[in-house]
Structure 1
Amino acid sequence: MTDIYLCRHGRTTMNVNGLLRGRLDPDLDLVGYTEARELGELLGGLGLTRVIASPLGRAVETARPIAARAGLEVETDDRLLDRAYGQFDGASSDDVVEEYGSLDAAPGVEPAAEVLARGRAVLDELAADPSDGPIVVVSHDAVIRRLLDALTPTPTHHEHVQPRTGCWSLLRHDGADWELLMADSKDDPVETALAVRSVHHEPVFSSGQLAQ
C-alpha cells in the first residue's frame, strides 16, 4: 500500500494577483511561508519516507519544513513542474481566457493531457515501489487539479477540485487501484482520518484506477 500526501505549494504574490506562474519562480510571500510551516507541523510527524517536490523554488520552499521535521532531504522531480504557459508566463489568467476562451486554447500552452501524463507517471512509479511509510509530493495547481480530477468517479459527484495553496490531498494505492481519501485539506490528517472512518467507513472518492 502506498499513501501519498499531494500538496500544493504555499502562496506567492503572483497567486494573489491572478498571474500565471508557470515556469517563473516567484518566492513565497508571508502567507506562503506560514502555509509551508503549517504543512510541516501537520505532515512532518507522520513517519514519512520521502518528500518529493517540483524543482521550482515555491515548491521546494514549501517542502523544506515538512522534510526537516521528518528528518529527510527534499528530492526534486521535473515531472512535477508547473504547467508551461510559454509566452503567457506572468500574464493575467483572466486576460488569457478572455482572449482565447480558455487556457487550453491559448497558443503554446502545454496540453492538459501532457500535464496529467507526467504527474501520473510520478504517482505510478511510487505505487510500483511501495515504501514503509507515507510520501509527500509537493507540486502545483495545474498538476494536482488534473490528478485529482482523474480520480473523480463522475463529474456530477465532484466536478473539479481547485486546490488551495498550502493544502494537502491524500491518495492511496492498494496495489491495484487508486483511491482519493481526502481532497484539499488544511486539517490535521490524523484527526481527519479518524473522522472519515467513523462517519463514512470508506474513502471520499474511489476511481478504480486513474482515468486514462
Structure 2
Amino acid sequence: MSSIDIYLCQHGRTPLNVAGRLRGHLDPELDLVGQAESRELAELLVKLGPTRVISSPLQRSKQTATAIATAAGLSVELDGRFIDRSYGEFDGEPAAEVVAKYGRVGAAPGVEPAAAVVERAKAALVEVAEASQDGPVVVVSHDAVIRNLLKALAPDYTPSELVPQRTGCWNLLRYTDGAWTLIEVGSKDDPIETALAR
C-alpha cells in the first residue's frame, strides 16, 4: 500500500475577498493581509519538507505558492486546471447580489458548472498524486475549486463542514492506492502539531 499527502491550500487574501466579490478569472494580487497569510502558510508547510509546489496560474495563487516554494527551495509548477471557477459576466460582482437574484451563484447564466470545475481539478489532482513519488505535495488553488473538490472526494462531510475556506488555510488529502481520504479541513494550525493531536 502506498500513499501520498497533498496539502490543498486556499490562496491568501485579496481586495476582492474583502469586498465579497466573485474573483473568478480576474487577477488581483494579494493585499497586505494576504501576503502575511502566505508567509505564515509557508512557515507551517516548509516544516513538512514538501517535494513539489503546484499552483493555479492566477496571481493570488502564484504569490501564495511562491512564498511556500521559496521557503522549501523549490520552484512553482503552474497547472491551469486549478484555476478559479469562471463566473463569466459576474466576475467581480458582489456574491451576495448574484445569490439574491438567482438563488445561488451556480444558477447564474454563464457560470462554470460545479461538475466541470470538479472534473478538471480532480483530473489534475489525481495526476499530481500518481506522478509524485515522494510527498508531501502542496497545491494552491481557490475557494470554489477546493470546496467543490472536497465535496466530490469526501462525500461523508457536510457542506457546512467544508465552507467557507478561509484565505491562507490548508486541507490535507491522502491518496492511497487510488482512493482519497480527507484528513483535515480548513486549518491554519501547525500541521505537525495537528497530526500529533489527531
Code of the residue aligned with 1:104 in structure 2: it is G
Among 144, 162, 169, the alignment partner of 2:171 is 169
- In the alignment, what sits opposite 1:105? 107
> Larger helix proportion, structure 1 or 2?
2
Query: What pairs with 1:1-212 in structure 2 (closer than 5 Å)?
Result: 1-154=3-156, 156=158, 160-196=162-198
Code of the residue aligned with 1:48 in structure 2: it is P
Deviation at 1:161, TM superposition (A): 3.2
User: Quick check: 1:2–1:126 contact (8 Å CA) kept in 2?
Assistant: no
- TM-score normalised over the length of structure 1: 0.88
CA distance in 2, matches of 1:16, 1:123: 28
Deviation at 1:139, TM superposition (A): 0.1
Deviation at 1:99, TM superposition (A): 1.0
Q: For residue 45 of structure 1, give the secondary structure of its aligned residue in structure 2.
A: helix
User: Quick check: 1:161–1:183 contact (8 Å CA) kept in 2?
Assistant: no
CA distance in 2, matches of 1:155, 1:169: 13
CA distance in 2, matches of 1:182, 1:38: 18
Q: For residue 62 of structure 1, give the secondary structure of its aligned residue in structure 2.
A: helix
| Deviation readout 1:109-129 (Å, 9 max, x if unpaired) | 101100011110111112222
Deviation at 1:155, TM superposition (A): 5.4
User: Quick check: 1:148–1:161 contact (8 Å CA) kept in 2?
Assistant: no
User: Quick check: 1:152–1:158 contact (8 Å CA) kept in 2?
Assistant: no
Unmatched 5+ residue regions in structure 1? 197-212
CA distance in 2, matches of 1:63, 1:126: 16
User: Quick check: 1:149–1:159 contact (8 Å CA) kept in 2?
Assistant: no
Q: 1:2/1:15 Cα in 2 relative to 1: closer, same or farther (>3 Å)?
A: same
Q: How many residues align?
A: 196
- TM-score normalised over the length of structure 2: 0.94
Deviation at 1:159, TM superposition (A): 5.2
The share of aligned pairs that are identical, in percent, is: 60
Q: What is the RMSD of the two structures over their aligned residues, measured on CA atoms?
A: 1.4
Q: For residue 26 of structure 1, give the secondary structure of its aligned residue in structure 2.
A: coil
Unmatched 5+ residue regions in structure 2? none
Range that drifts further, 130-139 or 3-12: 130-139
Q: For residue 48 of structure 2, give the secondary structure of its aligned residue in structure 1.
A: coil
CA distance in 2, matches of 1:52, 1:83: 17
